Amino acid sequence: MPKVALVTGSNKGIGFAIVRSLCQQYNGDVFLSGRDAGRGTAAVQSLSSEGLKPLFQQLDIDDPESVRAARDFFLEKYGGLDVLINNAGIAFKNADTTPFGTQAEVTLKTNFFATRDMCNEFLPIIKPGGRVVNVSSVMSSIALNRCSPELQARFRSNDITEEELVGLMERFVQEAQAGAHSQGGWPDTAYGVSKTGLTVLSRIHARKLRHERPADQILLNACCPGWVRTDMAGPNATKSPDEGAITPVYLALLPAGAGEPHGQFVMDKKVHPW
């Protein structure tokens, strides 16, 4: 049975560049995925014209039924998944006038809660020797340092549970909607908090994998692709999408038998202290 890799939110931007790089380097089937079948198929055709052979899977991470359908597809066709790169994410522009409470709810819905759903549906079908990469952001680290000392202590602790983390993310949204997030010890960045949550979730899931499936040698990490020229980050960013793909792809292709990095936050292929 061929090996198989899935990249979420990959019909454009960093995700598209990750698929291109995997098609060039990965010895297995590579699935580009996105909410919109038309845009996804066009993206696949674009890579096909470069001589690459990605496949397409419709997947909207905000839709639990779509997530489960994709999981069932990979289970049925491949017996599971070897590489999962959770790249799908959203961000409001700095100039956006949408109320902060709404930005918090919408941003965390996709970047934290939907990505968590992806992990909870797909981690059980990750095969031994599998690799999971959560595309976070340096903003997760910046936002962490702007949290209250109490929140920082919880987010950095090695005993925080997934339930506690979910509760804290829900509390941020509620306090943001009430205009009370600053008093609650939170920074003024919904995107940053969503990515703090994702990095902490990665640490929790890595710990769980080591505890529950120690023999399977699955490596799971969060990473920052860098500041990349995409629709999200704008034209002034310092890296091209192909440069942004380097660290996620490096983590996806960690050699068989490697024990590290695992449960880490990685930037420019280097582990950064959390």
Alpha carbon distance 59, 8 (integer Å): 7
Residue 21 dihedral angles phi and psi, to the nearest 5°: -65, -40
E runs forming strands in the chain: 4-7, 29-34, 55-58, 81-86, 126-135, 219-224, 265-267, 270-272
Query: Annotated catalytic, 191?
Result: yes
**DSSP states of 80-100 as a string?**
SEEEEEE-------TT--S-H
Please identify which of the residues 26, 78, 191, 250 carries the catalytic annotation.
Answer: 191
Cite the DSSP H helix spans in 35-161: 37-48, 64-78, 100-108, 115-122, 138-146, 149-156
> How crowded is residue 271: how many other Cβ atoms within 10 Å of its Cβ?
15
- Report how far residue 261's alpha carbon sits from residue 219's, in angstroms, rounded to the nearest whole number: 7
Least Cα distance to 82 among 140, 42, 34, 22 occurs for: 22
CA distances, 4 to each of 52, 103, 154, 165 (Å): 15, 35, 36, 30
Instruction: Give me the amino acid identity at 91.
Output: A
Catalytic residue positions? Answer: 191
